[in-house]
Amino acid sequence: MNELASILKTHNLKVTPQRLAIYSILLNTKEHPSAEAIYQSLSLDHPNISLATVYKTLDTFKINNLVQELNVGEGNFRYDANILDHTHAFCNSCRKVIDIDESISPEITKQLCNDSGFKVTSSKVYLFGTCKDCQ
């Protein structure tokens, strides 16, 4: 059996072609796609999938901590199969979201935690500016 299927089973989720397809897209892209963008990607190999299913599946994945939801202020959400806290940089020019793999965010959360009495379970760090290609 395929590896994705066993990950889904680990979370007590039924294995369906739709779920495999959506999870596979997220694992194989660096684009941080929106629900709509995922739906577009699916139109090739799974033309009869429903947008509602994409939303429901993403919600299920989010609840089961298989994906994280991002919001860089565009008016919709984006999804990332990398669930570890890491920094996302949004280019105001090309509107791409880039992963910044630095382990600084987790560190600062701990520091902030100490001072404020707020018990931190996760964090999101967004940088805004211009990416290398657009400069």
Residues lying near DNA in the complex (CB under 7 A): 9, 13-19, 34-36, 46, 48-53, 55-57, 59-60, 75-77
- Contact partner at residue 132 from a second copy, DNA, none, CB < 5 to 8 Å by partner kind: a second copy
- Contact partner at residue 51 from DNA, a second copy, none, CB < 5 to 8 Å by partner kind: DNA
The nearest distance, CB 88 to DNA, in angstroms, is 16
Q: What binding mask, one character per residue, do residues 65-104 give for a second copy by CB under 8 A, x or -?
A: ----x-x-x---x---------x-x-xx-----x-x-x-x
d(CA 18, CA 86): 27
- Sign, CA torsion 25/29/34/38: negative
* Cβ–Cβ under 8 Å, residues 43 and 25: no
Do β-strands 68-70 and 78-80 pair in parallel, antiparallel, or remain unpaired? Answer: antiparallel
* Cβ–Cβ under 8 Å, residues 78 and 90: no
d(CA 50, CA 69): 20
Positions touching a second copy (CB under 8 A) are 69, 71, 73, 77, 87, 89, 91-92, 98, 100, 102, 104-105, 108-109, 111-113, 115-132, 135
